[in-house]
């Protein structure tokens, strides 16, 4: 695939979308760590220097994909929560149901979880202040949106709702990496069954962690 130089605003926006769509397709094939600017450029049909006209770095591309994926997921999980949490249940049951729905929903989105797992340690390390500010402002709006969901179903969390959301995202990223051990770690678990405590699955671990966060928030707010 080859492109002529984009001259109009519409052509430049189309080029940006092509780069993002191509990077997203790569994430369906490989983890974040294996996505390179060289391969992205090759698949788009542009020289690397031309890709950098639209995005300042590989990380800037992936941060925008993360931003878009979070927005899409928030809209999806809002619908799932509406059908999965009975507002008439006692507070603990509502917190547990909320946690189960969110955990199961996130676990279905491997690309989103991989991006969250790479966010702080990788994706935020090679971007300008302008890109960082733009991403963080959007992320803050996403936190507010998720906090509103918690308050809708577990209003007893009160002012702690936003902290629960932030910690839930941190937990998601950490658990995602923990749930993908190396070949050596897998062999170690097989060799010594006592080490099985370190082998976790994302959905149940995240559900338990989020339920614990919500229960603690309710206790603090009361």
Residue 4: DSSP 8-state: P
Q: For residues 108 and 30, what is the distance between their CA atoms, to the nearest angstrom?
A: 16
Entry pTM:
0.90
- Residue 81 burial (CB count, 10 A): 18
Domains defined for the chain, CATH in brackets? 1-55 (1.10.10), 57-221 (1.10.357.10)
- Residue 119 burial (CB count, 10 A): 22
- The answer for residues whose C-beta is within 8 angstroms of residue 140's C-beta and 6 or more apart is none
Q: What does the pLDDT look like over 160-211, one tens digit per residue?
A: 999 999 999 999 999 999 999 999 999 999 999 999 888 889 999 999 999 9
**Residue 124 token pair:** 């935020």
Q: What does the pLDDT look like over 65-114, one tens digit per residue?
A: 999 999 999 999 999 999 999 999 999 999 999 999 999 999 999 999 99
Mean pLDDT over each residue of the chain, to the nearest integer: 94
Q: What does the pLDDT look like over 2-47, one tens digit per residue?
A: 445 556 788 889 999 999 999 999 999 999 999 999 999 999 999 9
Q: For residues 65 and 113, what is the distance between their CA atoms, to the nearest angstrom?
A: 12
Q: For residues 175 and 177, what is the distance between their CA atoms, to the nearest angstrom?
A: 5
pLDDT of residue 155: 97
**Length of the chain as a residue count:** 222
Q: Confidence class of residue 1 from pLDDT cuts 50, 70 and 90?
A: very low
Angle of helix 202-221 versus helix 91-107 axis, rounded to 10: 150
If DSSP codes are grouped into helix, strand and coil, which group holds residue 193? helix
């Amino acid at each position: 695939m080859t492109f002529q130089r984009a001259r109009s605003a519409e052509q430049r926006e189309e080029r940006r979308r092509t780069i993002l769509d191509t990077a997203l397709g790569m994430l369906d094939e490989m983890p974040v760590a294996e996505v390179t600017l060289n391969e992205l450029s090759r698949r788009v049909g542009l020289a690397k220097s031309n890709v950098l006209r639209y995005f300042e770095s590989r990380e800037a591309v992936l941060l925008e994909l993360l931003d878009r994926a979070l927005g899409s997921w928030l809209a999806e999980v809002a619908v799932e929560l509406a059908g999965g949490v009975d507002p008439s249940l006692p507070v603990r049951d509502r917190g547990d149901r909320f946690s189960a729905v969110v955990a199961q929903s996130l676990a279905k989105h491997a690309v989103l979880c991989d991006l969250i797992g790479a966010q702080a340690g990788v994706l935020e390390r090679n971007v300008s202040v302008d890109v960082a500010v733009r991403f963080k402002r959007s992320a803050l709006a996403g936190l507010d949106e998720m906090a509103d969901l918690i308050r809708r179903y577990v209003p007893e969390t009160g002012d702690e709702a936003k902290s629960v959301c932030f910690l839930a995202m941190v937990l998601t990223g950490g658990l995602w990496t923990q749930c993908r051990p190396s070949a050596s770690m897998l062999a170690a678990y097989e060799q010594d069954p006592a080490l099985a405590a370190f082998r976790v699955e994302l959905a149940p671990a995240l559900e338990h962690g989020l339920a614990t966060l919500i229960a603690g928030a309710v206790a603090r707010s009361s």
